Structure 1
Amino acid sequence: METQELFNRYRQGERDFAHVDLSGAHLSGASLRQIDLTGADLTGANLTWVSLNEANLTGACLRHADLSNVVLTSSQLKGCNFSGANLTKADLRLSRIQEAELNWAILTEADLTSADLQNSTLDQINLERAKLTSVNLSKTELMEANLRHANLTGANLTGANLRESHLEEANLRNAILVEVNLTEANLLNCCLRSADLSRADLHRVILTGADLSDAMLDYADLSRADLAGAYLLKTSFKNSHLLRTNLEDVYLLQGNLSHANLRGSNLRRADLSGSYLSDANLGETDLTDALLLETRLIRTILDGCNLTGACIQNWKIEGVDLSKVICRYLWRQYNFTTKRPTSRYPVNRDFEPGELGQEYQESSTTIEVLFSEPPNWEVLILTLAELQQENLELHLTIESYVPMDHQYLLRLLANHVVNAKILSEQILNLYPEVKERFTLCRQQLLSLLKHPTLPESRPVVNQSPPPPPPPKPMLDRQQQLYQETSKQIKSILFSQLPEQFVANIERLLNYLKEEGIALEQLQKKVIVSAIVQRSQQDEAFRNSLLQWEKKASPEMRVSMMGKSVRVAIAILWKKQKQENSSELS
């Protein structure tokens, strides 16, 4: 058909031009809205700046056609052949392009927002700087595609094949990439925040400098991938394969690596602070100079792992064998001001082979001290203070106190890993000495504190166990215990997040309940008040509090501590409502 004939018939109101032959036609700048070109042959046609919005080109052939700046919004393009076509800056918003062929097509800076390209073939396509927000690319073929700087926010790429594709600095925030094939793809400095890459094939992928914060990579295969310098805050790698993966200098803070296989991976200088590595395999990994602050390693395999120079401040280890670890020395503290680890261990020497494993057998951050009689709390505090004076880097807090049959178990929490057995023995040996000295000088000490004169403590050194105390001293003991525990609870509430302090404080409350101490005032005046106060001062804490309330188990929600948290949240909501009402008025 001649071009002029098409224009004349279109102006007369005709829209059905199905299966027409317009190969090589020059239609530049024409307005052909809602035209029906089903099955038409437009091979090599010039369609630059043509308006074809809401047109029907189902099954049309546009091979090597020039469609730069074309408008095809809300058009039907199912089964079209765009192979080798030029669609630079084309407007394809809301178009239906399922099962189409776009191999070698050029769509530089094209707009495909919310378009549907499901099951289409786009091998070696050029989509550089294209707008692909919320586009449907599920089960598409995108091998060796150019998606550099493209915006794929919220895109659906489920089951797509992007093998050897280029996505440097592309934006894939909130994208769905479940079971996607990104083998040997280049995602340098790519944004994948909150993206879902579950069961994705990322074998040998380049993710250097990429942002994968809050991303989901459960069951994904990242074997031999390069993630050097990547930002992985709260990223989930549960059951993923990271064999011989390069994770050098990554920021993997609060990540979940439970059951992940990282054997042979490079984690030099990686920051794994707060991460969870339950049942993970880190055999033969290189963790030289890594940060393991508050990292949880539970039944983690570390055979042949190199831990030299790692900082282990407050790390939590359970069921871990360190006998086969390679380690010359560790750092036990971290200076957040200078951003450097401190407190080298061991001092002025290196570990002997196997020494770290032997050290760990008796090392922990929790120290259990068994007393044969109820401890005098005044003496105990002085004993701990004297112990800390001898080691200025050591800070101890009381975690719990449990009376048992003929014994009294005191649990202390250290600010870094220590030899729990030796420290427990030191406390038990030092306690009688401090008690003897305190008994002789108690009145002078209390007068210095301007404290009212209290009854003298009975000396019990080298004496048989004292008789059961009368009711009034027991009341004094309960009051003292109540005050000490209140201070401990306040300290916990202002230093820990909800997922940590709820369980810790619940244990303390259970203990006080067993001691016959009423908890109603403690819950109202101390716990609820402290939670509300911290929430008003710290917005991040308030958000974590609301997240805990959503995710907490039914058992935890109805516990004593769970009820207190929920009361605090209710108070916060009420205060916020009142503030909003006052602003409106």
Structure 2
Amino acid sequence: MEPQELIDRYKEGERDFAGVDLSGITIKGHDLSDINLEGSDLRNCKFTSMTFNNANLKNCNFCESQFEVVSFINADLKEAKLTKSWFKAVNFQGAELTNAKFRESHRLIDCNFENAKMNKVDFYKVGISHQNFSSLDLQECNFSQVSANYINFNSSNLTRCNFKMANLESSNFQDACLKEANFKQANLKNANIMRSKLKSVSFVGANLTDANLYASNYEEAKIIGAIMPDGEVYDPEGYFVFESTPKSTQVEFIDTENAPKSPNSPHQAVIVNGSLYVAGQIAIAPTVNAILCEDEITEQTRQVMDNLTAILTAAGAGWTDVVKTTIFMIDLNECDRMNSVYSQYFPEGNLPICTCVAVSQLPQNVRIQIECVATV
């Protein structure tokens, strides 16, 4: 959809634009409050002086987009993909951001998160500058490897947050709850941790040089190998802490209401270390949870590809990111008809490698099932 068509239809009173493709647009100076764009593709967009107050933006894919002076007051951005993006003077006041992903975004500057709902938000490797996260419930957020020039976490709930290897120099944690938080190998030089709750927090290998721990009971914390405020390494038993870039396995399951459950899998997809594996989809229409195109290979293929599109979008990917598909068919004589639909979903010349397998039977007696692998 072109941006002008969206704006014209919005001005005429239309609000429901769920699932539209607006990728690559540049849009400036419009108020789209109360719009429903749930599950839409908004990758590589540029938004300037825009208003999305009270908008439904759940599961939207905003990857690699730019936001400058944009208002999301009370908007629903639950599970939105905002990775590798750029944010300046964005107002998220009162927004629903649970499970939103800002990971690897280039910059987060002067944004307002007042009263936002922010459990399990992913800020992995985000560049953050002079940001206020005070008095927020940030339980289980991921701040690992962030590069920050002062963050204010005053009086916030940071229970079970991950700050591993983060640069948090001069940041403010005064009166914050840091229960079970992980600061392993984090840089906390000159940080203010006064009167914070430190039960079961890990400062293993962290740099606490000149940090203010006044009235914080760090005896309840794990501090082996940490550089303490006086510059001395806490090393009571000659314990040595060394860890290079970890080779850990990062796993994230993907499930969306915009596609049916896979007939053979507990989840629709899984991301493992940057690779997305999508379970086999059949031609179930998610709106009615039933097959509406029995014994018709072209329509079944179209429904399967639409289901896969919804799952890819929920994972922050698209068909250009797909590197392999596996197609299971009852009758290989229908390959040409199947391919006439299948190929429409890929940009010209960008078909992934593919394996097509003949089988005697598929779930619910459908004629086709497709799975795929993509990069994210």
1:63–1:83 CA contact under 8 A, matched in 2:
yes
Counterpart for residue 140 of structure 2? 139
Counterpart for residue 3 of structure 2? 3
**What is the distance in 2 between the residues matched to 1:111 and 1:168?**
21
**What is the distance in 1 between the residues matched to 2:93 and 2:184?**
29
Counterpart for residue 69 of structure 1? 69
Counterpart for residue 98 of structure 1? 98
Change (3 A) 1:217 1:94: farther
Counterpart for residue 86 of structure 2? 86
Secondary structure, in 3 states, of the residue corresponding to 1:49? Answer: strand
Of residues 234, 249, 258 in structure 2, which corresponds to 1:245?
234
Deviation at 1:77, TM superposition (A): 0.5
1:112–1:130 CA contact under 8 A, matched in 2:
no
Deviation at 1:117, TM superposition (A): 2.2
Counterpart for residue 113 of structure 1? 114
Counterpart for residue 158 of structure 1? 159
Counterpart for residue 43 of structure 1? 43
2:212–2:229 CA contact under 8 A, matched in 1:
no
Counterpart for residue 122 of structure 1? 123
Q: Which amino acid aligns with 2:72?
A: L
Q: Which one is further off, 152-161 or 176-185?
A: 152-161
**What is the distance in 2 between the residues matched to 1:100 and 1:60?**
10
2:168–2:191 CA contact under 8 A, matched in 1:
yes
**What is the distance in 2 between the residues matched to 1:9 and 1:187?**
51
Change (3 A) 1:137 1:146: farther
**What is the distance in 1 between the residues matched to 2:229 and 2:172?**
19
1:494-573 aligned at under 5 Å gives the runs none
Change (3 A) 1:216 1:10: farther
Change (3 A) 1:216 1:19: farther
**What is the distance in 2 between the residues matched to 1:146 and 1:109?**
15
Secondary structure, in 3 states, of the residue corresponding to 1:150? Answer: strand
**What is the distance in 1 between the residues matched to 2:8 and 2:163?**
45
Change (3 A) 1:192 1:228: closer
Secondary structure, in 3 states, of the residue corresponding to 1:215? Answer: coil
Secondary structure, in 3 states, of the residue corresponding to 2:149? Answer: coil
Q: Which amino acid aligns with 1:120?
A: V
Secondary structure, in 3 states, of the residue corresponding to 1:87? Answer: strand
Percentage of pairs with the same residue: 26
**What is the distance in 1 between the residues matched to 2:11 and 2:122?**
35
**What is the distance in 1 between the residues matched to 2:189 and 2:69?**
29
Counterpart for residue 56 of structure 1? 56
Higher strand share: 2
Structure 1: gaps (5+ residues): 231-241, 247-261, 266-585
Counterpart for residue 258 of structure 2? none
1:263-412 aligned at under 5 Å gives the runs none
Deviation at 1:6, TM superposition (A): 0.8
What's the CA shift string for 1:381-412, capped at 9, x where partnerless? xxxxxxxxxxxxxxxxxxxxxxxxxxxxxxxx
1:200 and 2:189 correspond? no
Q: Which amino acid aligns with 1:29?
A: G
**What is the distance in 2 between the residues matched to 1:195 and 1:222?**
15
Deviation at 1:197, TM superposition (A): 1.6
Deviation at 1:38, TM superposition (A): 0.6
Deviation at 1:79, TM superposition (A): 0.6
**What is the distance in 2 between the residues matched to 1:104 and 1:29?**
27
Counterpart for residue 361 of structure 1? none
Q: Which one is further off, 87-96 or 182-191?
A: 87-96
Change (3 A) 1:14 1:218: farther
Q: Which amino acid aligns with 1:4?
A: Q
Secondary structure, in 3 states, of the residue corresponding to 1:43? Answer: coil
**What is the distance in 1 between the residues matched to 2:201 and 2:54?**
36
Q: Which amino acid aligns with 1:148?
A: N
1:16–1:37 CA contact under 8 A, matched in 2:
yes
Change (3 A) 1:263 1:89: same
1:414-563 aligned at under 5 Å gives the runs none
Change (3 A) 1:10 1:218: farther
**What is the distance in 1 between the residues matched to 2:177 and 2:32?**
35
Q: Tell me the TM-score normalized by structure 1.
A: 0.39
Q: Which amino acid aligns with 2:102?
A: L
Aligned-residue RMSD, C-alpha: 2.0
What's the CA shift string for 1:54-73, capped at 9, x where partnerless? 21110000001111221112
Q: Which amino acid aligns with 1:8?
A: D
Counterpart for residue 175 of structure 1? 176
Deviation at 1:213, TM superposition (A): 1.6
**What is the distance in 2 between the residues matched to 1:147 and 1:96?**
23
1:110–1:127 CA contact under 8 A, matched in 2:
no
Taking CA–CA contacts closer than 8 Å with sequence separation of 6 or more, which of the two structures ends up with the larger relative contact order?
2
2:195–2:213 CA contact under 8 A, matched in 1:
yes
